[in-house]
Structure 1
């Protein structure tokens, strides 16, 4: 019995700082699973342990008092973290209409709560939404279709442009809306076919995705992947990027052939494509979902291999370009490509002459979020990035938008870049958005099927 008591005390000493850390960082995307019921459970458990320690008279000794104080910390720290989040949220929601309309079009956000995202859409604080598996979990595809249509109705009533509505339907292991949408094989499965068959099947895959996404109200697909397939598994700790399974082929010509046909199929349905992840992540070893990563390959070698598919598909499509969070050391060793002026303006805009829409990979990734995210947001806008994506944890939108807002108020944002970016967004998505928004219109009152999932993700 004495041994059990000692073991219990040791566990309480070990758990106290862990629980306090989790409470203080309740808004961190790594702790998204604890939001809602998880946070309540932590607070209840902390209070119960404090009461138990007091009941056992542990407060009589100095060590006991310290232990009681440690277990009093989680509720206090969690309350402070929640207050900080709410204050930031209120600041963002309270911006002027001019500030919202200047900065809002440059943000795309993932969500779980319809009322939250509807307010952002109505105020012009966002230019797009990202829908994924948690938006259809436990619901019908008709419910999501009605929800998207209602968001577009809200935009129309507010006198704002239609939202860009994006999804991640690559095929294979990345098909976040399949099921209920059709589960299409990965484009990599076509690499061994004859060129004519590659094109025919890839275009068919694109048409399938395009028809179903367009019917849902999605007007931008975050596909295809144009990174070259690595010759071997790049990192045993890579549990999320998995580029070896997602990339089409090692041969740039095969990638170009298949990707071009797939994009044609998408565009025939009025759905735009997004080429990713420039400057290429097939050669890097670290997973940018969690860590910073470097691409040390010389530019000349990249131009002759990895970048050929990007330039080829961009030259004869209306695709957007997603820039990843890898550092292209030969061009800019100090910034990830997603917020590097030398990469976006220097390589993509000036050298390649591409004047379409450039977007970041998800800013809620360790390579950006665990560093100076505010610096990255300001630099990305000043580099000429058009859309900043906040996908995995939509609640981080308030922090990311606040970064841009502070930058604007302090005169750190390049006004000319913002104007040029706004023109690109209008030029790049107006046709696709108008077609998608007019395809189906459902009055906002019909969205009784929308819900908040209680996790804090929205």
Structure 2
């Protein structure tokens, strides 16, 4: 399908990546694919029992999308290794990023993980974590980060990206512009960070620059408010951070995703319509909504209405869908 032939509903739905309940193609998932026309789905423990079931789920979802005239689905998962690994045994279990001793470890993790994801029909990994654990064990990312040295994190992160993608799995680096300095969990509330751009450039942003050079497929935005970059909006809703810094200054032309909009950092401060409107203004390609179906429907309707009422937002939306489509053509 070419974007020229996309309906307004498809242009809206392609910009959503969503979670769902169940372990098979059910009415809930069919509704999301057929009516909301989602661009992607993300899998959690609640969707997974064993390799055969996961493969059946992914294949049946893709087949259903095809049968309904929809583009192929991005099918994502958080498989970082260590603390955050949705796929349990018999899938290979890794100690996690803090235990990696060099590029060979990173390459091995990426190669094995890519093969196992591809075998069951998953095509995108929400990894690697590129946050730098500056505060040691106090950092919210201490158990998930490669470490506290920006160049080390950049090197191992680039190795993971390159070897995931060389083996057919899209990599999404996270959480831009970096949440390793914080101690507040954005699942619970919105962290604030009082740091200037020059400091970020020489530290937190270095791994993301390496990721961009490695042609990472996607970058996920953090729900963190960097007050010296944007005093009002968290990165995941910020035109200054997502649009100006990541797109314009750093030159990233892959897809930009939010972290889960169901997290406390967003839900405690913004309603879904306000959040979606900001996302559309900020050149963010995909909104990630992992749990709440009412929020998914409301987000879809907000994108649809915004496209209808603003030529600027419709044009931005078409550019986003072109980026999503280019990724699907390359990998799917």
Structure 2 length-normalised TM: 0.92
Flag as ranges the 4+ runs of structure 1 deviating above 3 A. 232-235, 392-396, 405-413
Which residue in 2 is equivalent to 1:105?
14
**TM superposition shift of 1:393:** 4.0
CA distance in 2 between counterparts of 1:395 and 1:210 reads: 33
Counterparts of residues 43-442 of structure 1 (less than 5 Å)? 98-113=7-22, 114-123=26-35, 125-136=37-48, 139-190=49-100, 193=101, 198-234=102-138, 242-372=140-270, 373-394=272-293, 396-411=295-310, 414-432=313-331, 434=332
CA distance in 1 between counterparts of 2:163 and 2:95 reads: 15
CA distance in 1 between counterparts of 2:297 and 2:138 reads: 35
Structure 1 length-normalised TM: 0.67
DSSP-derived class of the 2:8 partner: helix
**TM superposition shift of 1:315:** 0.9
In proportion to residue count, which structure has more helix?
A: 1
**TM superposition shift of 1:376:** 1.3
| Structure 1: segments with no counterpart, 5+ residues | 1-96, 236-241, 435-458
**TM superposition shift of 1:327:** 0.9
Q: 1:408 to 1:317 in 2, by over 3 A?
A: closer
| Structure 2: segments with no counterpart, 5+ residues | 1-5
Which residue in 1 is equivalent to 2:3?
none
After superposition, the C-alpha distances for 1:358-417 in whole angstroms (9 at most, x for unaligned) are 000000011112222311111112211111101144553123323333434554971221
CA distance in 2 between counterparts of 1:266 and 1:159 reads: 29
CA distance in 2 between counterparts of 1:201 and 1:183 reads: 13
CA distance in 1 between counterparts of 2:278 and 2:151 reads: 33
After superposition, the C-alpha distances for 1:155-197 in whole angstroms (9 at most, x for unaligned) are 112222100000000000100112342211212211xx3xxxx
Which stretch shows the higher mean deviation, 175-184 or 165-174?
A: 175-184
DSSP-derived class of the 2:131 partner: coil
Count of residue pairs brought into register by the alignment: 323
DSSP-derived class of the 1:125 partner: coil
On the 8 A contact 2:161/2:214 being kept in 1, the answer is: no
On the 8 A contact 1:318/1:428 being kept in 2, the answer is: no
CA distance in 1 between counterparts of 2:304 and 2:90 reads: 38
Q: 1:203 to 1:232 in 2, by over 3 A?
A: closer
